[in-house]
Every structure is written in structure tokens, then in C-alpha cells.
Chains A and B, each alone.
Chain A
Amino acid sequence: MKHSITFKKQLSEAVYMIKVRAPLIAEGRKAGQFVMVMIDEDFGERIPLTIADADVAEGTITLIFQIVGQTTQEMSKLNVGDALAVVVGPLGTPTHIKKFGKVVCVGGGIGIAPLHPIAQALAKAGNEVTTIIGARDKSLIILEEEMQSIANNFIVCTDDGSAGRKGLVTEPLEEICKQDKPDMVIAIGPPIMMKFCALTTKPYNVKTLVSLNSIMVDGTGMCGGCRVDIGDQVKFVCVDGPEFDGHLVNWDNMIARLNAFKPCESNCRMHKAADKKAEEYK
């Protein structure tokens, strides 16, 4: 199977959207699922990317990625006609979609990409969808139109006020919980944002789903590297998740584990590339 890239678009400075040929995955995928991607079969790493959308007729899936390391860096250089070496999936447990009533979808930064298909499915299932999306500044907001078009209520937040409201996504979230308690919240974004959202909704007892982005190797439940503490149980994000009850996640452990390879990554090419990129942004 050749996973050719059929479409490419830069969404913000370090975020790209591509469509890739993967007919079986396009056919079978459901909201909330992901694929494992490699750019080189021999020495590449396997990285998880959420399936942001799919076109069954065309046989393609849409992936949105941010440049964070070696693989995403190199992926950003691929163009239409090039191909990914490996795309495998759809993996993970799909989001449980039904009519909950009033739902709030909170997306932060690149997390807006995985949130989009879920918000879409929730809207389609007849929910009243409020969407809050946020980022550091205006240039980092992605999929604004797409998200707006499916929301009954739409709020944008930026840290510097360059778009929408100035402040964190948790502020409007808290107001909503206070004024008109939602039936469910789903928050996807940087771990610290998801943790904060879960903390915000906890006092109001609003069920809050989060989508965890642990470090993965295989993505099929074989290695245990993606494990997280959920309540008093150990779960594998790649098969039991990626979505979990945010109130049960052991956030400190989850966030610490994300940095497990940091000290040694600094010796490897991947980390060097990331460091360089971070330097460029300064």
C-alpha cells in the first residue's frame, strides 16, 4: 500500500494538514481514533496521529500535525505526491458518541485537530455543542471556521488577546459550568490544559473526557509504554483510550512520563532537531 500525500496545507507556523491515501482506514475509522505513522521503515520512529477526518470515496484520511521532533519535522517537508512509509490503523477505542444534551468541546492548540471530528459527530448526534478553542496567540488557532460551523456556541481565547477573548479556555468553561451546567465536557489539548479543565469541572460534577497523548511505541497494546493510572487501575492509552475520564487521570504521573526520554533525547538527533526548532521560534 502506498500512502501517497494527496493534499497539503500549512495551518499555522508549525502546524500542517495533509491528506494521505489509506482507503481501508478511511472506511473503518471512527471519531477519536488514531493511526501510527512512520516516515522510514528501517530507522524511523512510530508516532501516533489522530485521524482528523476521512474521505471514503477518495480513500484518504486527514492528519494534522505540529512540528515537535524529528519525524514531524521531516513530514512537514513532504509534498503532494510523496508518500509516508507506514500508516497503520485505525487504532484506539472510538469516542462514545450519543445524545448527551449540552456538551462543551474544549480544544487547545494542536488539540483542536483531534477535537474536530468528535465535535462534528456530537453535533450530528443531536447535541447542543458549545466550542471553546484557545491558543497562545491568533497565529496558532487552527480550524477556526470548521469548528465554528458545527458549534451552537463558539468561543475563542488567546493568551495575549490577539483573537477572541484574552485568557485561558478554563475561564469560559467555568462560567458555563456555573450558569448552565453542561451534561458533558470533552477537552483535548496540551496535558496541562486538560488537567486544568478537569480541575475546573470537578466541583460542578460535570463528566469530563480528555484525550491523552502518551508516548507510544507499537500502538497496539503490546509494549505497555503508553500506560497511565486511571483511578486505581493501569490502562493502556493506545487500546483502552485515548479518551479517559479526566477526573480519574493521575495527571502528575502522566505528565512526568511524557518527559521520560528527555534527558537522553538531548543526545539524539530528534531532540537536537526539536531544540533547534524551538530556538528558531524565539
Chain B
Amino acid sequence: MSYICPQDLNVKAKEVFADLNNKQDSLKAKERMQIPLQEMPVLEPKQRGTNQEEVAIGFTKEQAMVEAMRCIQCKNKPCIKGCPVGLKIPDFICKIAEGDFQAAADIIQQDSLLPAICGRVCPQENQCQLYCTVGKSLKDIDKAVGIGRLERFVADWQRKNKTAVIPTIAKETGKKIAVIGSGPAGLVVSADCRRAGHDVTLFEAFHKLGGVMRYGIPEFRLPNDIVDYEIANLDKMGVKIVKNFVVGKTRTIEQLKSIDGFDAIFIGTGAGLPIFMGIEGENLIGVFAANEYLTRANLMRAYDTEHADTPMFKSKKVAVLGGGNVAMDASRMALRLGAEEVNVIYRRTIAEMPARKEEVAHAQEEGVNFLELQNVKRILGDKDSKVRALEIVCYELGEPDNSGRRRPVEIKNSEFEIEMDTVIVAIGNGSNPLVTQTTPKLKTDKRGNVIVDEAGATSIEGVFAGGDIVLGAATVILAMGEGRKAAKAINKYLKN
């Protein structure tokens, strides 16, 4: 697809809007489905590849309303079932089509605490939009109603117009809750428990809040200001925030209960343990876990060489191993930090990549190369222990595996070498062991994830958990959903 500049998109949207707006009420489903899908306006690829500015600009009012008119308000609302937090999608879309953005915002707020974030980073094509009747009827999920884009539009509108109200807080209960980790799971638990009138303290190991949304997902995809805005709301609600506090080290879970008197504890410490390939040469200079690469760039702001003290590795030719969102973020970041060539190396093909489609497309537009059906066998170094080249082996797709994806099969004797000076390993994250190691009674599975029941309760009374530390590396919305569930359980537990 060729690049269309935001102005042109808006001119088109305005035309369609002028034509439709007056006859909205009489539009038939068939006519609605003929309304052209509204593309997300984005920065020009060449220009954006050199800075941290947010790539997706967001819909204009007209675009949002036209896109909202594409929703046929079908009876069975399958999209809602696809949403992990059960957002009342057709209802808020209907309000957008009417131009009543405040009403749309109010509907979203009932179910989602972080719509500006979810609208940007949720994998909608696997969730709500996958089930959209419009997409199904048009036999193309890419033509589903742009639910995520609309959600984002409403959240941004509300932020810009400062119409959000701080939720009412129930009468103080005097019960103390410790929430560990300020990722999406922890943020949601903090808000929901505080609303119930509990005294909530949010502990974070880092010097900045937001979890992966801060240190992992880059500014060009999710601006820090948006994360800060959501967190400022918690502060206003009276959640106590303690940064630079590592539970398991500064205090153990046991001590939080016995010394500090917390009545309930929520563990939302995420999947912060980088997984390496275990291949030769992985400790050479120039090999990074995506976590390190992105943390330096995002959390430590190393992209800002003028101001930041944290250094960033200077690369010419970068290989990124993996095919998920993390790999896309790392490759696009490497490009922005001045690499001449960035290659994503993946064992299967682009079609099987777990990354959001939009991220893959953005990476491609910006000039990231995709080496499909290839994998790294060894990383080769020079005399100074620096990465010099990779030994690559080729794959072909065989029979589908349990996940339904076709299994990659190594092609014998297909090895070859390519020159590289940097390797970013983005093949996944395990669970962060700091809390579990210092809490022997906390039951974990063999991958180190905390085991919880239906409601989010762990094996220790009064201790709950959710998000990536339970699910393994998952998504923002699932972490939020887990948080919501656990908060409910905590509030119930503290009633008794």
C-alpha cells in the first residue's frame, strides 16, 4: 500500500462525511459497509525513521465519525466477546457516529481504565476486530471496523479536552493494600481497589512508572506523556506511589505483611527476564537482549545523546531475532538510532509473525528488512570479542503444530554467513524471579509463573497476582483484565 499523507486522508474523509452526515439515520447495513474504511494517518516513513515522534497521528473528527458509521450495530455484538475487558464497543461507536464524544468516553470509562493506551497497542486484529461482522461480511478482517483507532480517538479527545473526572472514592475502609509493579496490571488494581476506599500503595522497582509501557514500548508507538497522564490520575485518586522499591529485596512479601501491616498484596511484576538463544557467541560485544536495548533507549532515554548519560551502542548492521512486537520495536528503534541496515530474522514467514500487523507494516515502510525462514546458528566474533557475522541456517514450513502455525523445518546444509555488528535477541521473556525466589510459599509453575485460582488468588492467603507474571509474556489488555479480576477478588476478600 502506498503512503497517503494525513491531509489527503482528511480531505477524503470530509467529502464522505458531508455526503453521509445528514442521512445517517436512514443508512442501511449494506450502505454502511460500502463506506470506505478510514486509514490511520501516519507520519511520512522516511521522516519518522529518524526521530521518536509518534508514528500514528490519530483520526480527525471527520475520520472518526465516518469510520464509526461503518459499524452496522449488529444484534449479537461479537466484538464485545473478543475484548478481554468486555468494552461496550457498539455503544461507544454509536456515540462517535452521533458526534457525542463525551458520551462515548463515558461508556469506555466504565470498562477500561487505559483506553488511550489500549487503543494504541492492543492487537485488535486478534480480538474485537477479528469477530467484527463488517469484516466478516466483507471477507477481510482488515476491513473490520477500526475499533482500536476509534477507542484511541475518544481517549485522546477526552485528554485534550480535559473532560475526565476523577472517579469517586468510597468511604475510607482503613484497609491497606500493597500493589507490586506499575505495569498495566498494577495500575488497574491500584485504581479499582482505591475506588473501593482502600489505602493503596503502589511499589515500583524502577525510577519511572508504567512497566513495559515505559521501558519496553517505544515513544514512537506509545508516548510517555500518555502513560504519565494515566498515572497522574491514580495520584489524584490518592494512591500512594513508592518508586525505587524492589519487593523481594528492599522488603519481602512477608515483611510487607508483618512489618508494614498490609492486609492484601497484589503481585504484578511482569515478565522481566530476558530469554537468550543459548547459542555460541551470545555474550560477544554487540549482542543485546531486546530488554536491554529498549530499556537503554526508552527508560534511560539514550536516544537523546545530548542529554542522557546512558550510552547506546553504535550500530551499522543490525540483526533482530524474533517476530513479535518486541522484535518490531527493537528493529524500528535501531533504525531510529542510526543503523544503516536492520534485518529481522525469523524462522517462519511474515504471515506467522505474532507481532501486530500494523507494526510489521510500519517496520517495512521504514525500511526494516525481513529475512524470513532463516535462523541464527552461531554468532561469530572478531579478535576484540565484537560481533562480526552471523551463521544463518534456512528453514521451510512443514506441518502445522499445536498452535496451528506451520512448523519451521531446518533445511540441511543451507548454512551461510552474513556480516553484522549488532544482534538484538527478541525471542521472548520469562518471569521475573525476584519476588518468587524470596517468597518460598508462593506456588509457581515450572516456567516460574505464579499460580493463581479463577479469581487471581495465589497459594498465600491475602496475596493475589496477575498480568505477565501469571500469564507469561502476554498483552497490555490481558494484564488489565487480570488486574480487574484480581481487584474484585481483593475487594471481596477485604470485606470479609
Contacts and interface: CB of A to CB of B under 8 A. Distances in A.
Interface of A: 1, 24-25, 28, 38, 40-46, 69-71, 85-91, 217-218, 220-225, 227-229, 234, 239, 250, 252-253, 256-257, 259-261, 263-265, 267-271
The 9 A-B residue pairs with the shortest CB-CB distance, nearest first, are A256-B385, A223-B292, A224-B289, A45-B309, A222-B272, A88-B244, A224-B274, A264-B314, A45-B310
B308 interface: yes
B308 to A, nearest CB: 5
Interface string B253-296: 00000000000000000001110100000111110110110011
28 contacts: A24-B251, A42-B307, A43-B304, A43-B307, A46-B207, A46-B300, A87-B244, A88-B246, A89-B249, A90-B249, A90-B250, A220-B205, A220-B246, A222-B272, A222-B274, A223-B291, A223-B292, A224-B291, A228-B283, A234-B276, A250-B283, A253-B283, A253-B284, A256-B384, A260-B285, A263-B314, A264-B312, A265-B311
B433 interface: yes
Contacts of B307: 42-43
Contacts of A256: 285, 384-385
A91 B246 contact: yes
Interface in B292-351: 292, 295-296, 300-301, 304-305, 307-314
B208 interface: yes
Given A223-B295, A264-B314, A43 B308 contact: yes
Given A28-B249, A89-B249, A223-B291, 16 more contacts: A1-B242, A38-B207, A70-B309, A88-B246, A90-B250, A217-B296, A217-B300, A217-B310, A218-B205, A221-B434, A225-B289, A227-B276, A229-B283, A252-B385, A268-B309, A270-B309
Nearest to A255: B385
Given A43-B301, A86-B207, A91-B249, A264 B311 contact: yes
Contact of B291 (A222, A228, A260): A222
B206 interface: yes
Interface string B432-444: 1110000000000
Contacts of A225: 288-289, 292
Contacts of A70: 309
A71 to B, nearest CB: 6
A1 B244 contact: yes
Interface residues of B, number: 44
B205 A88 contact: yes
Nearest to B296: A217
Nearest to B384: A256
B309 A43 contact: yes
Contacts of B434: 220-221, 239
Contacts of A228: 283
Contacts of B312: 264
A273 B119 CA distance: 43
A156 B274 CA distance: 43
A234 B283 contact: yes
B305 A268 contact: yes
Contacts, number: 128
A40 B208 CA distance: 12
B245 interface: yes
Nearest to B315: A264
A46 B295 CA distance: 11
A260 B288 CA distance: 11
Interface in B157-212: 205-208
Contacts of B206: 218
Contacts of A271: 311
B285 A257 contact: yes
A87 B246 CA distance: 11
Given A88-B205, A267-B305, A227 B283 contact: yes
Contacts of A24: 250-251
Given A38-B207, A85-B207, A221-B432, A261 B250 contact: no
Interface centre among B246, B309, B434 (most CB of A within 10 A): B309
Interface centre among B207, B282, B307 (most CB of A within 10 A): B207
A44 B288 CA distance: 21
A108 to B, nearest CB: 23
B327 to A, nearest CB: 16
A234 B281 CA distance: 12
Contacts of B313: 260-261, 264
A79 to B, nearest CB: 21
B272 A221 contact: yes
Interface centre among B296, B311, B433 (most CB of A within 10 A): B311
B301 A89 contact: no
B251 A28 contact: yes
Contact of A224 (B251, B292, B433): B292
A24 to B, nearest CB: 5
Nearest to B307: A43
A221 B433 contact: yes
A42 B301 contact: yes
Contacts of A38: 207
A46 B207 CA distance: 10
Contacts of B251: 24, 28
B231 to A, nearest CB: 14
